[in-house]
Chain A
Amino acid sequence: MAAKILPVFKFATKVTIAGGALYVAYDSGLLGDSKEGSVTLGRAKAAIPPAVEEWMKYFGFELHATPKIEFSPLDAWNSGVQKSIHALSVTPSTVSDYTKQGLQYVKDLTK
């Protein structure tokens, strides 16, 4: 009798695990509107440091402090875009300057 119930039991466990994961994702607003998602992200960010501390206390070892990386991808991207477009916009005048200088140099050579 146990051999007959085992597959059913296994299937029920699998459905519970998968269904639970799906429900957690739905309940925490991960599958909803864009605003709900950013709210959840904010909550998760706020909840990570206390959770990490609790785990450290539980295991009884000290995790060395993560070095503060002063890098903002947004600022880096924005400054990259600005620099590229600025370079593109000054290209014609720069090229004409260099051409003039080059021609002047060649003229000087032939004098």
Chain B
Amino acid sequence: MSEKELGQKWDHCLADSAIKFGTGLGLGIVFSVVFFKRRTWPIVFGTGLGLGMAYSNCQNDLRSHYVLHSKVAKEQ
């Protein structure tokens, strides 16, 4: 993986983390207000979910260069 590609992947990772953090926070706030009587734990849970999704995406993205990719051939 070239340095340029690696840099771009890290850029995407950071941007994605920010987006998912915000989304998780927002959805956590919505759920906390609507269902859980404004408790804190849904907010924390949503934020954690968002960060986890971002981590998983980053991991897959950075690994994809070294993983074998295959396609299933269509049956004829």
Interface string of A14-40 (1 = CB under 8 A from B): 100110011001000011011101101
Binding site of B, secondary structure by majority: helix, strand, loop or mixed? helix
Chain B contacts for A81, CB-based, 8 A: none
Residues of B within 8 A of A35 (CB): 12
Kindly state whether residue B27 has any CB partner on chain A within 8 Å. Answer: yes
- The answer to whether B16 touches A25 (Cβ under 8 A) is no
Q: Do A18 and B30 form a contact, CB below 8 Å, given A31-B53, A34-B57, A34-B58?
A: yes
Query: Residues on B close to A: CB < 8 A?
Result: 12-13, 15-16, 19-20, 23, 26-27, 30-31, 34-35, 53-54, 57-58, 61
> Which residues of A pack against B, CB within 8 Å?
14, 17-18, 21-22, 25, 30-31, 33-35, 37-38, 40-41
